[in-house]
Amino acid sequence: MTIDTTPEPKHLVLIGGGHGHLAVLEAMRQHPFPARVTLVTPDPMLTYSGLLPAYLAGHVRLEQCQIAVADYAKAAGATVVLDTLISLDAERQCCQLASGKTVHYDLLSLDTGSVTAKLSGIASAETEVLSVRPLNGLLTAKCPNKVVVVGAGAGGIELAFAYAHRGAEVSLVSGTTLLPGHHRRVARTTAHWLKKRGIKIRSGRAQLCPIGVSLDSGHELAANLVIVATGASAPEWIAESDLRRSKNGFIAINDTLQSQSHPSVFAIGDVSAPEHLAITRAGVHAVMAGPVLAKNLRHALNHHCQARWQLLPYRPKPVSLFLLATGPEHAILSWGPLVLSGRWLWWLKRWIDTRFVERYRLADL
């Protein structure tokens, strides 16, 4: 009688079908990982956030800005589970899903994104309130007459431009400044184009009210649609886990994208916070860190260890390039103190975004 002494393959679990995990799946397609791989994602389609404003402005169709992440994962050899993470026990190395299923892992990678903080107050039944995270609500919302966007980061500003291009009356509520984290020159140029597009800029703290949004100044803004784009907040399950957290509640990671407290857990994108680094939250970091994550996961699986010194560090660039669509075929470039605007930048942004989506299309599907 022959006894099979072949060791059981390691189980790599990817939670979330975000931009960073696309790079992992791409690496798997090129060279299979020495492990059993499971992707857990709530939606079989990934809407690429870079093209969302173009879709809302009417420049592209929905299918042009979506990636069939579930099909792509299957083509890469992964098992796909359409479900949502609700709790994580890093000591026992298991994840609890919304369906009640428990998934055990040897190595875990998290790319679930962040959540958007809710506004206080109560809106009327006639006012639709949507968050930018997750994106699904924005995909099906009708273009209303009056829109209030709360939050003046890059995402909120692009949404304000998109709805204004569709003919809505748009108000943008900022905190102390437009585009926090960007150079003041970029903020000034953006303010110019907001006014040129007829978008009213309001400052102050906002809360929901029966007609739409009220500010701490006492001013009220009427709205059929309120979009909450107030920045990234940590999902609740992180606080309930035993992972080390940053001051803002995100997963604290080191430069190799590992949890500072549990080296068998990797995290990427808005769900994480790198140690000793203050970077603007943007999808570009998940895209750029994705290949590093893929190499580190492969190395950890091959060598049955997650020693930090054996893995590659991710070094984000000190200055990131941003292209902000302003509604029509026009965009603003932000790169440190450099700011440019023009029609050709819109085409550059369109080319970059479209190329990213096309990279993950499967011709044989």
Do 192 and 218 belong to one domain? yes
With respect to residue 323, please indicate whether it lies within any of the assigned structural domains: no
Do 247 and 299 belong to one domain? yes
Do 158 and 286 belong to one domain? no
Cβ neighbors of 90 (< 8 A, separation 6 or more) are 108, 241, 242, 243, 259, 261, 262, 264, 265
pLDDT number for residue 277:
60
CA distance 188 to 185: 5
pLDDT number for residue 275:
74
With respect to residue 282, please indicate whether it lies within any of the assigned structural domains: yes
Q: What is the pLDDT along the chain (365 residues), one digit of tens a residue?
A: 454 445 678 999 999 999 999 999 999 999 999 999 999 999 999 999 899 999 999 999 999 999 999 999 999 999 999 999 999 999 999 999 999 999 999 999 999 988 888 888 988 888 999 998 878 888 888 878 999 999 999 999 999 999 999 999 999 999 888 998 889 999 999 999 999 999 999 999 999 999 999 999 889 999 999 999 987 789 999 999 999 999 889 999 999 999 999 999 999 988 998 876 665 656 566 788 999 999 999 999 987 655 666 899 998 877 888 999 999 999 999 998 999 999 999 999 999 999 999 999 886 44
Answer whether the bond into residue 134 is a cis peptide, omega within 30°.
yes
The phi and psi torsions of 27 (rounded to 5 degrees) equal: -65, -35
Do 28 and 103 belong to one domain? yes
Residue that terminates a domain, selected from 274, 292, 310? 310
Do 243 and 280 belong to one domain? yes
Strand partners, 332: 324, 341
Do 273 and 303 belong to one domain? yes
Do 92 and 136 belong to one domain? no
pLDDT number for residue 114:
86
Q: What is the CATH number of the domain that holds 159?
A: 3.50.50.60
With respect to residue 318, please indicate whether it lies within any of the assigned structural domains: no
Do 186 and 151 belong to one domain? yes
With respect to residue 365, please indicate whether it lies within any of the assigned structural domains: no
Do 109 and 240 belong to one domain? yes
CA distance 156 to 38: 33
Residue that terminates a domain, selected from 200, 227, 254? 227
**What domain count does the chain have?**
2
How many residues make up the chain in this entry? 365
Report the candidate in 146, 163, 141, 313 with the shortest Cα–Cα distance to residue 220.
Answer: 146
pLDDT number for residue 93:
96
Residue-range definition of the domain harbouring residue 204? 117-227
From residue 199, alpha-carbon distances to 91, 129, 147, 182, 232 in Å are 50, 19, 10, 20, 24
Do 108 and 246 belong to one domain? yes
Residue that terminates a domain, selected from 169, 194, 227? 227
Do 291 and 204 belong to one domain? no
Cβ neighbors of 268 (< 8 A, separation 6 or more) are 18, 20, 21, 109, 110, 111, 257, 286, 289, 290, 293
Do 97 and 238 belong to one domain? yes
pLDDT number for residue 288:
86
